[in-house]
Chains A and B, each alone.
Chain A
Amino acid sequence: MIRIEKLHKSYPIGKDSLHVLKGIDLHIKEGEFVSIMGSSGSGKSTLLNIVGLLDEHDEGDYFLNGQLIKNLNEKKAAILRNKFLGFVFQSFNLISYKTALENVALPLYYKGINRKDRLKIALEYLDKVGLKAWANHLPNELSGGQKQRVAIARALVTKPKVVLADEPTGALDSTTTDSVMDLLKDINDEGMTVFVITHEEEVAEQTKRIVRLKDGIIISDELTKPAKAV
């Protein structure tokens, strides 16, 4: 699903440039549930943004769903994002003047689906994250956990192949963290590839594979022991 080879990324800072990713090799197969850990500034978000086509890499190859990502223009990137990727951010990134339902329906708008169908599908996904009753509330009327669940519903609504989450629980307390993680696990169980950045060992423990990043290189990449076998 995601194949990264010798990936480099630097940010220009004034005259100098800051080398953030220094040759990343990573292969994530369809249906995996991967977490990335590492100290602050190690390049986790940078990696995720490149994977999410929100940013471009400098060197190396990146294949998304078998397609080489290179010199992508914004339009193609937008279409690929809309088709393959769903995003969950630490700060939720909901549009403040749109209701929960409208926020969830937004990706479908850019997919060109008509309003009636859009709202119907969006409501199904809100229901799935347990927020059907909150459909017509604005984001500022929701708790952090609720907002993140709306964001997850939005990420899922286009049935993406990969869900990318940058510290989805970073702004949440432990109970809401658990409910968000349960949701991500459910999604993964349905076959979706999930890629999560986190700081918290307990969160990483709940994924199936942990990749550790340090100073722009992968220092370890191992599968977690399967949690309680059910």
Chain B
Amino acid sequence: MKTIQYKIPFILSIIGILFVVSCVDDDPIEPVTPTGCDTCLVEYNPTPYNLKLPPFFSVLPTPVIPKNNPLTVEGIELGKKLFYEKKLSINNSISCSSCHNPDYAFNDQGVAFSLGAMGQSGIINAMPLFNLIYADSYNWNGNAATLEEQIFGPVKHPLEMMESWPNVAIKLQNDPSYVTLFKKAFPNETIDSITTSKAIAQFLRTLVSGNSPADNEFGSQLGFPINGRVLTVEERRGFQVFSDQEKGDCEHCHGNSYNPLWTEYTFRNNGLDLNPDSGRAAVTKLASDVGKFKVPSLRNLIYTAPYMHDGRFNTLEEVVDFYDQGVEPNSPNISVDMFHRTGANGHIINLSPQDKKDLVAFLKALSDPSFVTNPDYRP
């Protein structure tokens, strides 16, 4: 008897399913016949890659991967090789990794301004690379809307790789190992700036950092599985200083325990200078954007000194001293979030030495050692 009870609804469901399926406006699927492609003797079919995000990151919106550049195993492998490829520079002297070193959370090692292909100095601090899939613009002033677009930049930049894209394409086309890798990743497409930047963008999208003591602390509070230590007593006190509106008050820009990105990717002026650089205004041409820069993530700070867009601070202690006493209240377009209370000295925090120590300890605990040692990210 029981079995029949199950069967009737079951059969009805099957009929229902068939009907739903039959309602789909079906585009007849025609067999794909490669035309005009004489290197297509071997048929390649790139393998879709499933990006694993830390469980705790489900507190964030699901990141969007562009439809025209889905992640594939072959694309990521090629992108990684290209990221470490010196042929992308004019004299084959530097690769992306020269300024974005995996040992330093893909930032340059301890310099304010990285050196380009001819040893010339840059004018803005290189940025670390992680969790880029969550950002909606790239570079300090957000002038690149997508990663693919960002990657066009450094290759031809006069202070970076100084190479032309056609030259890069020729160098890669002449290297048989690349011919195979490109064919596997982008069957039927040519080796050019588009496929090269697509491949590198795929690799960059896999750079996910989400395993710091702070992630473990806040993730476990929400019941997510964790993998490593939580915060110490000192670091916890530091988080209180960070969050307290009458102390650090860092939350409005850099986030909180429910935002593991530690930024909201907006553009703000945190009051570094009375006459600041143009910043975001270079993109929007608005006077109200002068001095605003992308709020950087506070993740992996122990690897990314010096700090700020011009690398002016060498240590986190200096950064904290700046926020405590050094904010320039008359900087144009300074964010109101730099003021902690009403009145003339509202921009001065007056943290105790203990508060400062604790705050620095917390900032360091946002660093993720497993990210800088991840073998998947290395050649």
Asked if A pairs with B, the answer is no
